[in-house]
Amino acid sequence: METTHHTEPNNLLAAPPRVVNVGLELFAVNLVSQGAEVVHVQWRPPAGGISHLIGLLEKLRS
């Protein structure tokens, strides 16, 4: 059986982390406070996650 060498995990841990954080900003703030390089993406569920409003928006966009 042929052996496959996976080098990516080692490389990932060898270099300083570069992080894209989506949603909850607290995670990004904590990483930044520890010196990590973080790009924060402001995101929240559409219509605050309220299913009735999401349904109306979908129908209005049909």
Partner 1 sequence: MQGPRGSPLKLTEEANQEALRRILTGEPILIDVVPAAQVIPDLADHVILHAGPPISWEEMCGPMRGAVTGIAVFEGWAKDLDDAANKAIVGSFAFHPNHHFGAVGPMTGLTTRSQPLIVVENSAFGNRAYCTINEGLGKVMRFGGNDAEVLNRLRWIREVLGPALGRALRELGGVPLKPLIARGLTMGDEMHQRNVACSSLFLRQLAPALARTSKSKDELVACLEFIGRNDQFFLNIAMATGKALTDPARDLEGCSVVTAMSRNGTDFGIRVSGTGDRWFTAPVEMPVGIYFPGFSERDANPDMGDSAIVETIGLGAFAMAAAPAVIAYVGAGRAAEAAAFTRSMAEIVVGSNPAWVIPALDFAGVPTGIDLRLVVETGLAPTINTGIAHREPGIGQVGAGIVKAPLACFEQALVAFAETMDIE
Residue 60 C-beta: closest distance to partner 1, Å: 5
Shortest distance, position 13 Cβ to partner 1, whole Å: 34
The answer to whether 46 contacts partner 1 (rule: CB under 8 A) is yes
Integer Cα distance of 62 and 59 in angstroms: 5
Task: Determine, following the binding rule CB under 8 A, whether residue 24 of this chain makes contact with partner 1.
Answer: no
**Token pair in block for residue 34:** 């520890």
Burial of 21 (0-12, 13-18, 19+ CB in 10 A): buried
Binding site for partner 1 (CB under 8 A): 44, 46-48, 50, 53, 56-57, 59-62
